[in-house]
Amino acid sequence: MSAFIVGDCQLFITPFTRSLPLSHSLHHTIFRPTRMKILQLRKQLGVIRSGTSATAAQYTVNSRPPVKTDHVDQKLVALSVTALVTIRNNEMGNLMEMMPRLMLNASNPKQLGGVVLQLVSSTQIDPRTMKPKMSKEAILDWSMKALTAGGETSTYRIDFMVESDFGVPGAITVCNKYQKEFFLESVAIEGVVHELVCNSWVQPEKVYAGKRIFFSNKAYLPWETPAGLKELRDEELRELQGDGKGLRIPSNRVYDYDVYNDLGDPDQGIEYVRPTLGGQKNPHPRRCRTGRPPTDTDINQESRLNASQSVYVPRDEALEKGKRDAFNLGKLKGILRNIIPSLTVAESDDVFKGFSDLNGLYKERTLHEMKPRDGSREKKIKRSFPKILRKVQDSVEEFFKFDPPQIISRDTSCWLRDDEFSRQALAGINPLSIEILKDFPPKSKLDPSVYGAQESALREEHIEGHLNGMSVQQAMEENKLFILDYHDMYLPFLNQINSLEDRKAYATRTIFFLTPMGTLKPIAIELSLPAVDPNSSPNQVLTPPVDATTHWLWQLGKAHVCSNDSGVHQLVHHWLRTHACMEPLIIAAHRQLSVMHPIYKLLDPHMRYTMKINAMARETLINAGGIIETNFTAGKYCMQISCAAYGNWWRFDKENLPADLIRRGVAVPDQTQAHGLRLLIEDYPYATDGLLIWSAIEDLVQTYVGYYYKDANAVCSDLELQTWYNESINVGHADLRHASWWPKLSTPDDLTSIITTIIWLASAQHAALNFGQYPYGGYVPTRPPLMRQLIPKENDPEYKLFVSDPQGYFLSSLPSWSQTTKYMAVIDIISSHSPDEEYIGVRKDLSTWSGDTEIVEAFYRFSMEIRRIEKEIEKKNSDINLRNRFGAGISPYELLMPSSGPGVTCRGVPNSITV
């Protein structure tokens, strides 16, 4: 036997073939000229995978001498090709579960089967079958000694036998003959630059009889697909599309669409009946189809699952162990934090008696001044315990308490102040509602034939004394007046909402004046109710206080505004615009874009966990009697507010950041300014930080798209791409499919805009709306999710009670004690980052483009730009001239700060919607 060197790989050939040349394609497979450069860039980006052996990470080749095989064609050479197979340990069960299987395999390897793998040539067709050339089957069983083990992964070495004209390995098939699924992380084939990054569950043969296909990690446009992979590419997509029939089980990998007909539970009674979301009456984006049977009482409604089951999502959409553990820990903390209130608060006494009760919910160690030393409730509770147990009780109560949210950690009086109330519209958890005031008085767009004339009660005399000497017209001309307008969003539902027990709401409008310091000042609040008497106005106008009574009326008015704001934030900006509207795009991507497609590969990190998170929302958040209905003013009508916003207001072409700012009138086009926009409120933290990230994403996507699509013809002729986009609209967003505003997909610029918008929504937009929920809303008086009383008028019976005890009336209007702690527990969980979070600017799949230095360098520049943006945000948060993000007792605006650690940090921009 003789050996020779090709590239950096030693190959062996048998003596009787040593004079015959090896296939050029196999030589080419082994040559790796860009390896070190790519690894250096990966290291700089921080994406070398921990727990992966150096051999696997660096693609070290270790060709083995061939085993003697029978030859049909004596000119072919039998070669042994080594591959490193990496299995994720923490997804295979614990050691006690593994031991019996390993022992059985050791004594009788054939008893439980094994994992059967075959290499697939991407370039060579077998003339006998007219299908791609295949290697001999190789068997992996768990009794084999792993090259690396004990950490998160185990790596095994297996040998494939191939013929010398095999060509370039482009895929691998996997058949699991064991009894349980396992998680296959990657397969690194000797000499192949593009390893097969699998990251998928492989089901046992008894569950899935076919062979799983995993492709080389190289990106191919449809017409560039190597001959050997074309048929497999189509076959894989057909598998993911399914047939639209039958019940989906947890092991399935099928992506399909359905309406939201699974939120109610009519079998439990009339109070659990909910309308279907999706359709002409309640337009809504589509969800992932589960195929569950209908309810007994309504064949159009899908049955609910019991508490031990989970809503179906394709198997690979499940949360990984780190994320599951973080969620479970959060749930446990939430349960524990409600133990004390549930044991000590009687139903008849479920109301805060004073602010000391509220302050007592938070841990003393962080906020010493908040301990309710003289609180009436604390005294009452402590009298029920023997004195000897008081110290133990104190320790237990302290353990169960909440961390003080950021909003009060610096200043406990912030909820009272007008400046903080206004600042939240620019630098809070909902900075997406503030608009320029275009008309005064404001005008409603509701149909007067349905809702009656909706004339505003606001008049110039209400606000002209607060405009620094300007007239209303002058202030509007100089772009000094802004508005939070929730009138049209709430008014159609107010009669139903106010008929609910313990729910009272207005449709609010709030007028702000832009001060010379660049801050907003609230100057009027309009509270509207549906008209009952055509001769009297149901609207009420509040202006800044001038005495004690108007002070408390003003405080109540601001609380109702914040309750409206909280609902619109959660139901429209957060749920609808990010979670719900993204899901159809994700479903279509899996159905119509091959995993080899460049656009799929670009979007992949931005789709992580979202479908599972949305499924969990249907289980416990937006369902009948779920957390959203329980904790927000609109109650059982919450999701109908989302539907109304979707049908009347949402537009994909306005979802990119610049277009949204222009639509709201807070920015105007100006090519002389950075980003081509001039902000009318210069110190608008969400907008200024957001535009930095938006531009960075746009630059990356423009480079990426330009690399693969040189002209409009390339975009239009990409069948996978066009089918993905068309299906997203016509099926995923079927209720709006005929809208004229959908962007065209005809040019590289069109594609750049669409993809940039998707990445923006999944990353920065969602982060800005989600991770501040507890930091900004964890102190209920600053942002009550619901209100339980209207503001009393002088002729109302409640007015006497209000005058005699305004603080008590204010507290009794807020959520109850038990409602508050449950709400706080939930938003604490959903404001938290898990340890496995993947943040913007970091990619773990750069080996995909190891031969495409232009793409790798674009990702590297993007990563560096994100780091620069983080430093710029830090600098702005220390600028004394920026009053909306710096000042005494003011929390810096960090919701668009790219990086974060785990937990509730009020910062961090993950790549995708992960919570």
DSSP characters over 466-487? GSTT--HHHHHHTT-EEEEE-H
Calculate the alpha carbon distances from 509 to 441, 466, 506, 557, 574 in Å. 11, 17, 10, 10, 21
3-state secondary structure of 332: helix
Calculate the alpha carbon distances from 284 to 586, 611, 641, 737 in Å. 16, 16, 11, 11
Phi, psi torsion values for 319, nearest 5 degrees: -70, 140
Q: Which residues, listed in sequence order, are joined to residue 184 by a DSSP beta bridge? A: 87, 200
**114/91 Cα distance (integer angstroms):** 18
3-state secondary structure of 711: coil
Q: Length of the chain, please?
A: 915
**515/1 Cα distance (integer angstroms):** 87
Give Cα 797 to chain centroid, integer Å: 47
Distance in Å from the first CA to the final CA of the chain: 59
Q: Is 429 left (phi over 0), alpha (psi -120 to 50) or beta?
A: alpha
**DSSP state letter for 160:** E
**Which amino acid is it at 439?**
D
3-state secondary structure of 427: helix
**454/439 Cα distance (integer angstroms):** 14
Contact criterion met (CB below 8 Å) for 174 and 201: no
Spell out the residues 6+ positions from residue 708 whose beta carbon is closer than 8 angstroms to its own: 219, 221, 598, 599, 714
Calculate the alpha carbon distances from 719 to 220, 433, 632, 723 in Å. 13, 38, 44, 6
Q: Which of 550, 555, 526, 547 is nearest to 418 (CA)?
A: 555
Strand 677-679 and strand 138-140: the pairing is: unpaired
Which pLDDT value is given to residue 348? 54
The pair of three-digit structure tokens given for residue 608, joined into one six-digit string: 């992580």
**701/803 Cα distance (integer angstroms):** 60
DSSP notation for 551-615:
HHHHHHHHHHHHHHHHHHIIIIIIIIIIIIHHHHHHHHHHHHS-TTSHHHHHHGGGGTTHHHHHH
Phi, psi torsion values for 385, nearest 5 degrees: -115, 140
**830/627 Cα distance (integer angstroms):** 12
Spell out the residues 6+ positions from residue 343 whose beta carbon is closer than 8 angstroms to its own: none
**415/307 Cα distance (integer angstroms):** 38
Contact criterion met (CB below 8 Å) for 276 and 282: yes
Which pLDDT value is given to residue 841? 96
Q: Which residues, listed in sequence order, are joined to residue 513 by a DSSP beta bridge? A: 481, 521
**246/772 Cα distance (integer angstroms):** 40
DSSP notation for 282-327:
S----EE---PPBPSS-TTSBPPPPTT------GGGSPPHHHHHHH
For the chain of 915 residues, list the mean pLDDT of each consecutive stretch of 10.
35 33 36 39 41 34 41 68 90 44 46 84 90 94 85 91 91 95 93 87 94 94 95 96 95 97 96 97 98 96 90 95 84 74 60 87 59 47 52 60 87 84 97 98 94 92 96 97 98 97 96 97 97 78 96 97 98 98 98 98 97 96 96 97 98 98 97 94 98 98 98 98 98 98 98 98 98 96 96 93 96 94 94 95 90 94 98 97 94 97 96 96
Domains of the chain: 78-103+110-241 (2.60.60.20), 257-324 (4.10.375.10)
3-state secondary structure of 391: helix
Q: Which of 577, 629, 493 is nearest to 284 (CA)?
A: 577
**818/557 Cα distance (integer angstroms):** 23
Cβ-in-10-Å burial (0-12, 13-18, 19+) of 385 comes to exposed
